[in-house]
Amino acid sequence: MFSGLAEKLQSTLRQLRGKGKLSEKDVDAAMREIRLALLEADVNFKVVKDFITAIRERAVGHEVMGSLTPGQQVVKIVNEELTKLMGDKAGVLSAARKGPQVIMLVGLQGSGKTSTAAKLAAFLQRSGKKPLLVAADIYRPGAARQLEILSEKIGAAFYGNLADNPTQICRAGAAWAEKESFDPVILDTAGRLHLDRQMMDELVAIKKTVSPTDVLLVVDAMTGQDAVNAASAFNEAVGISGIILTKLDGDTRGGAALSVRAVTGCPIKFIGVGEKIDQLEPFYPDRMASRILGMGDMLSLIEKAEAAVDRSKARELEQKLLRQQFTLDDFKDQLVQLRSIGSLEDILNMLPEGTGIPKEMRQMSLNETNFKRIEAIIGSMTKKEKIDPSIINGSRRRRIAMGSGTNVQEVNRLLNQFAQMQKMFKQMGSLEQKGQFKKLKKKMKKGFLF
């Protein structure tokens, strides 16, 4: 997610970072690069313009020119402005004054409203709520049935009635929720074009009837320049209180996130990060800004790791890493644990660029098949080999390949990857000895790496 944009911004900013003195020409060149990177990431061109103007103004000002490390100062400004652009606090749902919370989902066709409705219900269930899903999409064939199946899957209540019109459905759903004390009520409305007057009026009517506590616009993260048109049209016609960004697990650079936030002024409240029903997360603007800038999203990673990893095992591993006794067996254990956190790619995306993880490792795809092969290769090694892979010569490689049903190239690849990993941990270990690792950790917690 966001990786393309992050890479571009980083290489631009890296050139600035080392500079002791910054001329106006340096700043201009960097701004041009940032502008192109943002445009290529589908950030709306007007938003880009404002963003660049804001950064440039600060970058050529006293704040930077007078600083001892002007390059780093610019990086800091970009980070701050980016965070500002994405909103300055984590999105939360609005509380209801009385009765249940009513959350209305609106958006274009195919943005992911129905899946998101179910994911949101599952998310709220995890915090002990008893949500009701209401199918207000009477137009798309099978839409109500889709929501009904999903509600059964998560064990949430469902209301739908294809004989009624959407306003009646929503009113009846809300009334039923009040009676049965379901809270919140999630309304899944039909996808529609913002140009369609009649369909937009329908949303207005629903909103008037049920007075939702939140109207959330569901936006596909892969949307291009048009994201701003749709978002502002929905906002003007219906009035939205927040945004849910879907399909962020693709390789989109996600410029729509920046654009939509900027033109509506509404916070991004949740992000969809996968097809599984639990893959909806609250949105944290500062974390996302760090991620875009390649500073990593350590907080999210730590939270996920804490949920998935056995603490004593983790401490043991940390010690092993620092004493540089990390073996292939530990590597395998790690892979198993990593997989319970998420895909390796997701995890690597959350790590800060500065940790020196080689590019090849970042690109190493850890899919199911691959994983099974790695497991088989390691399983075909002797105990001695696992502890000291340097003894694995040509004939051992052939034996391991035969034993695991793979080939020598694959065995070589794995051994190379492992060697790189060991080298990386060695670097981290020496950082620790100099006390720099702690400093780094502290900085990460603050959200910056500079």
Residues that bind another protein (CB under 8 A): 36, 39-42, 44-46, 108-112, 139-143, 145-150, 153, 193-195, 220, 222-227, 229-230, 233, 247, 249-253, 255-256, 275, 365, 367-369
CB-wise, 38 or 177, nearer to another protein?
A: 38
Instruction: Provide the minimum distance between the beta carbon of 181 and another protein in the complex, in angstroms, as a whole number.
Output: 27
The closest of 268, 286, 247 to 119, measured between CA atoms, is: 247
Element (H, E) at 18: none
Rounded CA separation 76/448 (Å): 9
CB-wise, 145 or 315, nearer to another protein?
A: 145
Rounded CA separation 219/242 (Å): 11
Residue 339 · residue 371 · CB < 8 Å: yes
Instruction: Provide the minimum distance between the beta carbon of 28 and another protein in the complex, in angstroms, as a whole number.
Output: 15
CB-wise, 23 or 109, nearer to another protein?
A: 109
What is the DSSP annotation of 388-406? -GGG--HHHHHHHHHHHT-
Instruction: Provide the minimum distance between the beta carbon of 440 and another protein in the complex, in angstroms, as a whole number.
Output: 30
Give me the sign of the Cα torsion angle 26, 27, 30, 31: negative
CB-wise, 58 or 194, nearer to another protein?
A: 194
Tokens of 442: 């502290």
Over the range 167-193, which residues count as b (16 or more CB within 10 Å of their CB) and which as e? bebbbebbeebeeeebbbbbbbbbbbe
Rg from Cα positions in the chain? 25
Rounded CA separation 437/429 (Å): 8
Instruction: Provide the minimum distance between the beta carbon of 435 and another protein in the complex, in angstroms, as a whole number.
Output: 39
Rounded CA separation 35/30 (Å): 9
Rounded CA separation 51/45 (Å): 10
CB-wise, 348 or 400, nearer to another protein?
A: 348
CB-wise, 233 or 424, nearer to another protein?
A: 233
Rounded CA separation 104/190 (Å): 11
Residue 371 · residue 406 · CB < 8 Å: no
CB-wise, 39 or 424, nearer to another protein?
A: 39
CB-wise, 371 or 437, nearer to another protein?
A: 371
Instruction: Provide the minimum distance between the beta carbon of 196 and another protein in the complex, in angstroms, as a whole number.
Output: 9
Instruction: Provide the minimum distance between the beta carbon of 8 and another protein in the complex, in angstroms, as a whole number.
Output: 11
CB-wise, 123 or 326, nearer to another protein?
A: 123
CB-wise, 41 or 86, nearer to another protein?
A: 41
Instruction: Provide the minimum distance between the beta carbon of 432 and another protein in the complex, in angstroms, as a whole number.
Output: 34
Residues 6+ apart with CB under 8 A from 250: 1, 221, 222
Instruction: Provide the minimum distance between the beta carbon of 252 and another protein in the complex, in angstroms, as a whole number.
Output: 4
Rounded CA separation 87/5 (Å): 19
Instruction: Provide the minimum distance between the beta carbon of 139 and another protein in the complex, in angstroms, as a whole number.
Output: 7
Q: Any idea which residue has 């916070």 for tokens?
A: 267
Instruction: Provide the minimum distance between the beta carbon of 365 and another protein in the complex, in angstroms, as a whole number.
Output: 6
Whether the bond into 184 is cis, omega within 30 of 0:
yes
